[in-house]
């Protein structure tokens, strides 16, 4: 793996070469208008840096960057896409972009995805695809998976599980030692959504999961019931901490820190708080959620931020070239570095900082193993459906005997929401 310094040098050389190539061919000119929601300090610096580097490559291009507060952006995006669209706009992948695709406000950029350079983004293609066409490019994402107390596993003679039988066997050994297998805080519901994502994708696969959250499958189907049967196995054996509905995700961290629970199914953003609480990287490990149904490809939750070309863009050529630049291996290395976004590059040819968990996540998501990249329950389902469903998921974890009533309620909601 190349070092960050070597990639930075490569980026500079590549920028010069690309600029010269355009100068010899069809140099970009005119205005390139970009609207961005990267308003927090670190993302803002990343966005401004990208615009500066791209501008140096194309000196005849006038780039107008407008950065809008992230929450305000969410309420303004439909208005500006409809009234006076920029050439490039930030947003999110999968179902979050669907309303703008179906309204004809995001342009189909499948031609870009057909270019050879985009083959290195293959694991994110599904997240950018609606009805067989691609409508944007990703620029950063982060992994979910199982973070665990490696020292506890070593104490009990356990190995990272690769299948459901090993997972259940490990869990029983952990319970027998007086600990919970998993900490979780479901006070704010979404963490239960993460468990459903993984159990459903491992039981039925990414395509079924995506179809369910798009409203095309029944919540009372045999497939969904099989997912809940697997979940109930864990609940009945006492895999989760008690009273998890009383805790936020942060409030559930001490159970793992203090050794009362052995693992946490969570996004990579949990690593730093665990380190801050005193756990060392020697005590912490990470593994990919194991196989449940043999032959089902291992899809992952990896929430993805994106760039799109609005249908009303005026400088499409410049917008397309900016998107090529955004996803390039060199730019991906720079913007996702630890002193920038501190997340994972979406280009498999990029490099990542020398961080144990970022490297493991990058290897997992850049390999051929992800059978799809999901955006997380409350991004893949419409907001109204996600709110109703996640209430049901939390209820199931506390009162699993209520399953039939919960599924009937979710099926009724499916009929009205979609």
> CATH code at 413?
3.40.190.10
Dist CA 358 CA 345 (whole Å): 10
> Within a 13 Å sphere around the CA of 143, how many CA atoms are in the beta-carbon half?
26
Tell whether 128 and 242 lie within a shared domain.
no
Q: What mean pLDDT, rounded, does the chain reach? A: 92
The Cα angle at residue 257 between residues 233 and 191, in degrees rounded to 5:
45
User: Residue 370: which pLDDT band, with cuts at 50, 70 and 90?
Assistant: low
| Domain shared by 161 and 292, yes or no | yes
Residue carrying structure tokens 């669209």: 85
DSSP sequence for 179-247? -EEE----TTSHHHHHHHHHHHHHHH-HHHHHHHHTT-S-TTSHHHHHHHHHHHHHHHHT-BPTTGGG-
pLDDT grade for 60, boundaries at 50, 70 and 90: very high
pLDDT at 342: 86
Where in the sequence is the domain holding 322, given as residue range(s)? 4-141+304-359
pLDDT at 389: 98
Alpha-helical regions (H) of 346-402: 356-366, 377-380, 383-398
- The number of distinct structural domains making up the chain is 2
Are both 342 and 322 inside the same structural domain? yes
pLDDT tens sequence across 228-239: 999 999 999 999
Same domain for 129 and 234, yes or no, is no
Query: Domain check: are 38 and 151 in the same one?
Result: no
Q: Are residues 260 and 393 in the same domain?
A: yes
């Amino acid at each position: 793996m190349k070092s960050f310094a070597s990639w930075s040098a490569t980026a500079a050389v590549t920028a010069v070469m690309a600029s010269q190539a355009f100068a010899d061919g069809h140099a970009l000119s005119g205005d390139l208008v970009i609207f961005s929601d990267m308003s927090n300090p670190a993302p803002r610096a990343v966005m401004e840096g990208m615009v500066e580097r791209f501008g140096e490559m194309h000196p005849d291009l006038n780039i107008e960057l407008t950065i809008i507060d992230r929450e305000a952006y969410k309420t303004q995006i439909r208005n500006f896409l409809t009234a006076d669209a920029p050439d490039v706009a930030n947003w999110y992948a999968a179902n979050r972009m669907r309303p703008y695709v179906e309204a004809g406000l995001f342009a189909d950029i499948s031609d870009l995805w057909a270019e050879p350079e985009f083959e290195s983004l293959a694991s994110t293609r599904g997240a950018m695809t609606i009805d067989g066409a691609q409508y944007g490019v990703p620029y950063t994402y982060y992994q979910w998976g199982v973070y665990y107390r490696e020292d506890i596993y070593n104490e009990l003679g356990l190995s990272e599980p690769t299948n459901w039988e090993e997972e259940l066997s490990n869990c029983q050994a952990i319970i027998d030692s007086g600990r919970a297998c998993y900490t979780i805080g479901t006070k704010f519901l979404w963490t239960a959504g993460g468990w459903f994502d993984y159990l459903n994708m491992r039981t039925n696969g990414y395509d079924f999961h995506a179809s369910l959250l798009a409203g095309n499958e029944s919540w009372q189907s045999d497939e969904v019931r099989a997912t809940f049967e697997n979940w109930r196995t864990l609940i009945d054996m006492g895999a989760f901490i008690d009273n998890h509905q009383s805790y936020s995700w942060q409030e559930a961290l001490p159970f793992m820190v203090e050794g009362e629970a052995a693992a946490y199914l969570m996004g990579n953003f949990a690593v730093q708080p665990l380190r801050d609480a005193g756990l060392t990287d020697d005590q912490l490990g990470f593994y990919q959620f194991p196989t449940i149904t043999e032959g089902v490809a291992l899809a992952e939750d990896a929430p993805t931020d994106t760039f799109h070309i609005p249908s009303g863009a005026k400088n499409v050529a410049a917008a397309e070239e900016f998107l090529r630049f955004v996803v390039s291996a060199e730019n991906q290395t720079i913007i996702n570095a630890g002193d920038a976004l501190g997340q994972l590059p979406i280009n498999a040819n990029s490099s990542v900082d020398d961080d144990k968990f970022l490297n493991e996540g990058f290897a997992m998501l850049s390999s051929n193993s992800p059978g799809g990249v999901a955006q997380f329950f409350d991004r893949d389902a419409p907001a109204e459906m996600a709110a109703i469903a996640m209430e049901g998921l939390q209820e199931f974890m506390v009162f699993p005997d209520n399953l039939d009533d919960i599924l009937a309620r979710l099926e009724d909601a499916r009929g009205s929401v979609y």
